[in-house]
Amino acid sequence: MKRWDDVLLRGLDPKGDGQFAASRGGKRHKGVDYRYAEGDEVKSPVSGTVTRLSRCYNNEPYLLVEILSHKGAFLWRFLYIEPTVKAGQKILEGDLIGHAQNIASKYKGGMKNHVHVEVNINVKLLIGGEGE
């Protein structure tokens, strides 16, 4: 079993950089890419509720898992995972959420296989606040 703190980052490869905010043309990379081989088990780094399973891109086999955690303040997205969970399922930190897919095969030319992780934060739920 891989622990998240033991997983290497994708880093720089011939297809770009997997670091947070790395350049994507006129955009920025919204997450962090962690190196996983195809079929590796992917465990959740948080406890929460699976809110959605979906395709990453239309008409392609790449899938994602979304998990809502910390009383709804954090929405985690794990891309390029074949899910082993269902929407609405409660999970604990360390539970299996899926197996890494082969995203490197989509981008020929040396991209390291990886799982992409994003976290969106609802700041109002996290720290509070009222409108004007």
Q: What is the DSSP string of 24-51?
A: ETTEE--SEEEE--TT-EEE-SS-EEEE
- pLDDT in the model for residue 124: 84
Laid out side by side, the sheet with 81-83 consists of: 41-43, 96-100, 81-83
| Residues in the chain, pLDDT under 70 | 1-3, 12, 21, 131-132
- pLDDT in the model for residue 21: 66
- Cα distance between residue 99 and residue 102, in whole Å: 10
- Cα distance between residue 108 and residue 24, in whole Å: 17
Do residues 60 and 54 lie in contact, with contact meaning Cβ atoms separated by under 8 Å? no
**Cα dihedral: 2, 49, 67, 91 (round 10):** 0
- Cα distance between residue 77 and residue 37, in whole Å: 19
Selected from 3.90.1150.10, 3.30.70.141, 3.40.50.1010, 2.70.70.10, the CATH number assigned to the domain covering 4-123 reads 2.70.70.10
- pLDDT in the model for residue 37: 94
Query: Domain residues of the chain, as ranges?
Result: 4-123
